Amino acid sequence: MKKKSLHLIKTIFLSIFLFPQSIQAEGITNPVIGDLGINNPDVSSGGKFIEYMVYLWRAAITIGSLAVILYFLLGAFGWITSGGDKTKVEEARNKITNAIVGLVLLVSSFVLLSFLSKILFGGNFDLLQLSIPGIGN
């Protein structure tokens, strides 16, 4: 079983990265997404993919930030209402610590992506403003 799954992973890796194929969709229209077909010039340059990835990253940062705030508030509320019970205080402290670790992960992902965008795109790629180099916005 392990040999089969390793062979499958190897085959998928080789087919995706070593033998890329050009696939074009003929005029796909979706009321939510819009025109993703051959008529959209951003599709052939990869701009739509980058645009969607940045939108997904922004959504993940927003949801993660809300989760950090909620978890921090739950930990603070648990600490206040613990009444001096050591186990409740420890649980609340763990929640607050986990919220801080989550915040550090969110900030470090932003810093890492900003750093990589400056190296790869020379400062022309801003994650907050979404100006994709080579594509007129």
Q: Is it the case that residue 87 has pLDDT exceeding 90?
A: yes
- Proportion of the chain in helix, strand, coil states, percent, rounded to 5: 65, 5, 30
Cβ atoms of 71 and 102 closer than 8 Å: yes
Residue 17 lies in a domain: no
Residue 101 lies in a domain: yes
CA–CA distances in Å: residue 95 to residues 98, 105, 124: 5, 15, 39
Provide the whole-model pTM: 0.56
Residue 128 lies in a domain: no
Say what the pLDDT of residue 32 is: 61
Residue 126 lies in a domain: no
Say what the pLDDT of residue 9 is: 77
**Domain assignment of residue 74, given as a range:** 42-121
What tens digit of pLDDT does each residue of 94-126 get? 999 999 999 999 889 888 877 777 777 665 555
Q: How many CB atoms lie within 10 A of CB 95?
A: 19
Residue 133 lies in a domain: no
Tell me what percent of the residues of the chain surpass a pLDDT of 90: 26
Cα-based torsion angle of the residue sequence 10, 16, 21, 27 in order, rounded to the nearest 10 degrees: 130
Cα-based torsion angle of the residue sequence 75, 80, 82, 87 in order, rounded to the nearest 10 degrees: 40
The stretch 39-52 carries a mean pLDDT of: 66
Number of domains, the chain:
1
Residue 32 lies in a domain: no
The pairs formed by 123-126 with CB atoms below 8 angstroms and a separation of 24 or more are none
Cβ atoms of 87 and 38 closer than 8 Å: no
